[in-house]
Amino acid sequence: MAKKGRRKGRHIPQRTCVGCREVNAKGDLLRLVRTPKGVQPDASGKLDGRGAYVHANQDCLGRAMKGPLNGALQMVLSAADREGLEAYMRDLPAEKARASNSEGAG
């Protein structure tokens, strides 16, 4: 029988990217928050409101904006929300950075 090797120590919260559905540590994903002013990227993680997580790249954010983000935030993105996110997206890398050192993957 194999040992389970359950590690003690800090628990790392995991979140699912709404673009590609991959599960990552919360800190590796960009949080998008539905605020009274519209949907905003929340780099600080401190904004109140319903949030969704996505990889900070054009591919995942673009996919999320095509539908899954609406469901995750329980709303329909407005034109202004889309413009804001598209502007934000321009500064992001096109694709997910390849993890050359995928420690603990599985």
CB atoms within 10 A of CB 104: 6
Minimum CB–partner distance for residue 22 and Zn ion (Å): 5
Q: Let me know how many helices (H) and strands (E) the chain has, helices first.
A: 3, 5
Cβ proximity to Zn ion: between 48 and 86 the closer is 86
Helices 79-89, 58-65: crossing angle, 10 deg rounding: 170
State how far the Cα of 77 lies from the Cα of 64, in Å rounded to an integer.
Answer: 11
Single residue of 16, 20, 51, 70 touching Zn ion by CB under 5 A: 20
Q: Which of residues 43-62 bind Zn ion (CB under 5 A)?
A: 55, 60
Cβ proximity to Zn ion: between 80 and 97 the closer is 97
Minimum CB–partner distance for residue 55 and Zn ion (Å): 3
Q: Which of residues 60-79 bind Zn ion (CB under 5 A)?
A: 60
Cβ proximity to Zn ion: between 26 and 37 the closer is 26
Minimum CB–partner distance for residue 79 and Zn ion (Å): 24
Q: What is the DSSP letter of 37?
A: T
Which H or E run contains 87? helix 79-89
**Interacting residues toward Zn ion by CB under 5 A:** 17, 19-20, 55, 60
